[in-house]
Amino acid sequence: MRSETTGSPLLLGITAVGFLGVTATYLTAGPERFWANWLLWFLFVFTLALGCLFLVALEHLVAARWSVPIRRLPERLATLLLPVVPVALIALGAVPVLYPGAKPEALQNKILAGKAFWLGLPFFSARTLLCLALCLLALTVLVRGSLRQDRTKDPRFTVQARKFAPAFMAIFALVITVLAFDWISGLTPEWYSDVFGVYLFAGGFLAALAATVLALGRLQGQGRLPEVRRDHRYNLGGFLFAFTVFWSYIGFAQYMLMWYANLPDEVVWYKVRLEGGWHAVTVALAILHFIVPFFALVTRDAKGDPRRLRWVAILMLGAHALDLYWLVFPVLGKGVLFSWPELSFGLFFIGGALLWVRKALDWGEDLPVGDPFLQKGLEFRL
């Protein structure tokens, strides 16, 4: 049984309404607000899709068995990297508008002048294109190869994927670092953090786990994937719980070290986010991204409860979007902005992503039937 299509007209309508609002944002709210919103959702979809591909590669890297029956879910979700490519190319239009290092007056700043080649649009674009090409290469090897294995039943793909997985980890480290330091930290180029790439990785991987949980719930609600049992869900819930703590640890460690050192170039980044309306956003982020999911999943039974996992997964995706909003929007210097432009971008990108995912959830078999370790995964017991 495949996905129902009754919801597609509604999603198309939502996406169309969002597109109208996106267009109106540029014309009425100005280019800075337009590009800040575009950047936020570009990063959201990119980090989610990249996190899903990381989850696929991680299974091959450590030769995991328990996750084989659910591997097709992050594989399908990782195909969001395909529409990310045009979104990223459009996002390059934000560089001359939002990024101080790419503006002509950057040469008047001693710090930025020394980074002019690195922060300039040509080299910025080259790094982005390289990252996109590497992501598409990894997607071809890990996902297209897995879908082909459904037909061929050739075990050599499993060997090839395991050999490629370490190389992908190097690719992933490069791409997530470029995303963190170029696309986010580059908005405030005088500020830097050694662990910022790890912070973005933690948030993106959490979003990928949450999306996988929701995709599993959707398919099982349609009577698909009956082979996936509570033990598999429990491990997904355990990962959600663990990386909730990990994200919080990295975020707090970054803040604590900068607070302790009290260096002007570092604390000003937090000062902006701890004053005015941004203070409330910071508190909300701590509550929604850590406190609520931590206590919601802290018990053993909660990690395997499909209803509990579903609402926590929705919360984590919302918290990831809020996190990116908290990282990007303060650079506009206009306080907390949330009205019809932000809502329009949300409708456009979420609607478009859901339309893509609805199609992707029908690609290939629901189980990777050609994988020689599928049976061991189905027999997994805690």
Task: Single out the residue of 350, 338, 345, 333 nearest to residue 32, CA to CA.
Answer: 333
| Sequence-distant (≥ 6) Cβ neighbours of residue 76 within 8 angstroms | 143, 215, 357, 360, 361, 363, 364
pLDDT > 90: what percent of the chain?
85
What's the CA gap between 320 and 244, in Å, rounded?
Answer: 11
pLDDT, residue 370, reads 93
- Other beta carbons less than 10 A from residue 300's beta carbon: 11
pLDDT, residue 101, reads 84
pLDDT, residue 113, reads 78
pLDDT, residue 34, reads 97
pLDDT greater than 60 at residue 335:
yes
How many residues would you count in the chain? 382
pLDDT, residue 7, reads 64
Lowest mean pLDDT among 44-58, 186-200, 237-251: 186-200
- Which residue's entry shows tokens 């508008």? 97
Average pLDDT estimate for 258-279: 89
- pTM score above 0.85: yes
DSSP per residue over 140-169, as a string?
Answer: IIIIIHHHHHHHH--THHHHHHHHHHHHHH
Q: Strand locations in 75-206, DSSP E? A: none
Going by pLDDT thresholds of 50, 70 and 90, the confidence category of residue 1 is: very low
Note whether 379 and 68 are within 8 A (CB): no
Going by pLDDT thresholds of 50, 70 and 90, the confidence category of residue 304 is: very high
Note whether 33 and 328 are within 8 A (CB): no
What's the CA gap between 340 and 328, in Å, rounded?
Answer: 18
pLDDT, residue 272, reads 92
Average pLDDT, the chain: 93
Going by pLDDT thresholds of 50, 70 and 90, the confidence category of residue 4 is: low
Task: Single out the residue of 160, 126, 124 nearest to residue 142, CA to CA.
Answer: 160
pLDDT, residue 189, reads 87
Average pLDDT estimate for 287-301: 96
Per-residue pLDDT tens over the stretch 78-120: 999 999 999 999 999 999 999 988 887 777 777 787 777 888 8
pLDDT greater than 60 at residue 10:
yes
Q: How far is CA 296 from the centre of its chain?
A: 22
